[in-house]
Structure 1
């Protein structure tokens, strides 16, 4: 298989600091030039900027998304909204943050207030609040859904510079929850909050023989559940979390609210599998020795033990490493049959596994463009890391291509902020409100100022 450069771009490993080209975070796509970036100091400046220009506009955010989502033409604008950040207001049951507040700041502020969100966090916390919402970022657990589902009010600057607030219960609110940046520019978000709680996470390794039955059971029995499927070895590594007992909470407080490990020596039953996976990753990435951050995402499974901590300490543990990350959400009710199909497909094709399959389930979302819209969902996640020279494992990419085909046939919806082949999907068939979203986009942005080639391909 030859690499599809449109889907899986190579990474630039040497970008000069004085270079005017602006790259996305992974440095696998140029999104524009530095001269095109404007940094309004406040919402009023943003409004004026939109009133005084007629060109197309995209917000760069943390630049974690694939470059095609951010790219603009040479005469268009890129907006850095980092000034619209921080806590704006709070009450007993909600908080309002500037849209460009990094999630790690949101989580830290809530923890200091002894509050938390009802949604489980995604693994990466350097995303901005608005960017994470706009792409449908989610965590794990059937009792919650995406971050966007915790929004109570969304404040947005429209293409003509006017302001609009979308309140939960409004007819168009579900469109504003996940927008891909196509409706307007979010400047502030009000989120509902809950009392701060502590969780104990049980970690264990188990055979994947009964995964079809085990995965639904884990998610039914625990409010938070995440699993990694090492298909080569037919093994699962599982994190199941529930609220901590009084004694566990006391130990956590005595440990100055730092994560408490439940054993002095960890479970080593997965260590041989970890060694094998690391060997594959070293070969694929051409990195010798212990290597970098990408290897830490696997070595954390070595000598594991149960832990107690808050939801962000336990689950927001991602390490931002340049990668091709594909994640497809399928109907939860069909997941056992889909797992069986994946097993059969693997047995027949024996694909090269660069990294374990990540399995996370969520409840249904109210957001029109959420991959979990109106249905509990199981997300299948796949990763191929870049080599030091910016190349990608051809075997790893072949696996991504083939597994995406399989999941598309099962009604899969891709995570918007990750990589996927848009030509495989018939959007209005898999999103019941697709045409309503398109109509609202035309109403709010008749000149299509918040578009680029990526957005136009999707909606036009």
Structure 2
């Protein structure tokens, strides 16, 4: 077992300084079990892309990146078993070489499997569910240092997948596979927002995955529309959508920023893993320092939610780098933000001004609360009053709390973040 690197003392955005008593990087499941059994408190570290303290601890931090990098395809079952600390970008090319794909990827391929799943992270698409919905099995180390496997159909499976790191340390995941496919990406510029809202379904249905980017500097205009289409999808995209032309060159979501780090556009088809993310694996993600928040509202409330954001444009724009709107299909996972409902995600990439963002978040949350908005678990949102809000937003919240007491009776995987959620 090794002591982890100093760069693991902060999250990726450097807005959170972790407070563990020590950091370890086990090289085997047996070493991990030794740590868990002897610890009063322990939390896992993946790629550290969470912007809040969900992964923090005053106990032992366990870095999963040194565990064996297992990737094993079961073609008969149509699943891949992969080590939890691997990144999506690490496994995708291997799957493609064997003729397989994952149904979806997030904007960044740099995030770890376990961390993305535990927080309900997603890509986009009217008919495509979150990354967690692709999970067919979870191998979980519980507080006694024993490994337990939960598979789809097991009594507690739907509670175990989006776990917030509260149930144990995930050591491996089984993910559903689909036959490999190609995607072409096309960007349109400056769509009139009113026209978009007149038939939002038509816009989000243009491709397999669709994103709209706003700076909210011009509240009546969608700055960019990114349409990712499967190469086998019938028909061709028009030269204009609602009067908005195709971008004549490659674009970054942020105005005036080089698109070198972005995946290929201009309608050129390519492998699924090289188009579904917005950014390439070989580049450090983002345009420098940033903070992120996201709220997911039921699809039935999508138009009202976008209108609410337009009303707040004057307050949002000064702190904003860009806002992304995209859809996610429903799932059955108890703590998924898409639990039992298709959703619209309203994602904010903020300037690195945490005090300013923290002052603005309650304003946004008050506007979205009547629309049943659920926060992304790994991003910034207001924890004050969360213990009262969450049972209203998640029908199986009390069942999850009971599951947590059964799997972690010592509270080994607890922290202040979970306590403020009422867990």
TM value normalised by structure 2: 0.85
Instruction: Show the counterpart of 1:149.
Output: 133
What are the equivalent positions in structure 2 for 1:94-243 lying under 5 Å apart? 94-118=79-103, 120-205=104-189, 206-233=191-218, 234-236=220-222, 237-243=224-230
The equivalent position to 1:452 in structure 2, one of 399, 415, 419, is: 415
Instruction: Show the counterpart of 1:335.
Output: 302
Instruction: Show the counterpart of 2:247.
Output: 267
2:277 corresponds to 1:311? no
In the alignment, is the contact (CA less than 8 A) between 2:328 and 2:343 conserved in 1?
yes
- Displacement of 1:351 in angstroms is 5.1
- Displacement of 1:441 in angstroms is 0.1
CA gap 1:299/1:441 in 2 versus in 1, 3 angstroms: closer
- Displacement of 1:398 in angstroms is 5.2
More off after superposition, 407-416 vs 212-221:
212-221
The equivalent position to 2:335 in structure 1, one of 369, 374, 380, is: 369
The equivalent position to 1:429 in structure 2, one of 384, 392, 411, is: 392
Instruction: Show the counterpart of 1:43.
Output: 29
RMSD after superposition? 3.2
- What are the Cα deviations for residues 47-81 of structure 1, in whole angstroms up to 9, with x where unaligned? 23323x141101121222135222222xx211112
- What are the Cα deviations for residues 26-67 of structure 1, in whole angstroms up to 9, with x where unaligned? 22222135x61122221122123323x141101121222135
Instruction: Show the counterpart of 1:91.
Output: 74
- Displacement of 1:309 in angstroms is 1.8
Q: Partners in 2 of 1:207 and 1:150 — Cα distance? A: 35
- What are the Cα deviations for residues 66-109 of structure 1, in whole angstroms up to 9, with x where unaligned? 35222222xx2111121334234212211100111111112122
In the alignment, is the contact (CA less than 8 A) between 1:21 and 1:30 conserved in 2?
no
- Displacement of 1:225 in angstroms is 1.1
Q: Partners in 2 of 1:153 and 1:417 — Cα distance? A: 22
In the alignment, is the contact (CA less than 8 A) between 1:157 and 1:186 conserved in 2?
yes
Gaps in structure 2 of 5+ consecutive residues: 236-244, 280-284
In the alignment, is the contact (CA less than 8 A) between 1:31 and 1:67 conserved in 2?
no
SS in structure 2 opposite 1:328? strand
2:322 corresponds to 1:356? yes
In the alignment, is the contact (CA less than 8 A) between 1:274 and 1:299 conserved in 2?
no
SS in structure 2 opposite 1:46? helix
In the alignment, is the contact (CA less than 8 A) between 1:222 and 1:240 conserved in 2?
yes
In the alignment, is the contact (CA less than 8 A) between 2:105 and 2:123 conserved in 1?
yes
Q: Partners in 2 of 1:218 and 1:108 — Cα distance? A: 30
- Displacement of 1:141 in angstroms is 0.2
What are the equivalent positions in structure 2 for 1:402-441 lying under 5 Å apart? 402-423=363-384, 425=386, 426-441=389-404
Gaps in structure 1 of 5+ consecutive residues: 1-16, 249-264, 279-294
In the alignment, is the contact (CA less than 8 A) between 2:331 and 2:341 conserved in 1?
yes
SS in structure 2 opposite 1:352? helix
Which structure has more helix as a fraction of its residues?
Answer: 1
2:283 corresponds to 1:322? no
2:345 corresponds to 1:384? no
- Displacement of 1:19 in angstroms is 7.0
Q: Partners in 2 of 1:456 and 1:247 — Cα distance? A: 50
CA gap 1:368/1:268 in 2 versus in 1, 3 angstroms: same
Q: Partners in 1 of 2:289 and 2:125 — Cα distance? A: 26
In the alignment, is the contact (CA less than 8 A) between 2:125 and 2:208 conserved in 1?
yes
- Displacement of 1:344 in angstroms is 3.6
Structure showing greater radius of gyration is 1
- Displacement of 1:406 in angstroms is 1.3
CA gap 1:20/1:145 in 2 versus in 1, 3 angstroms: closer
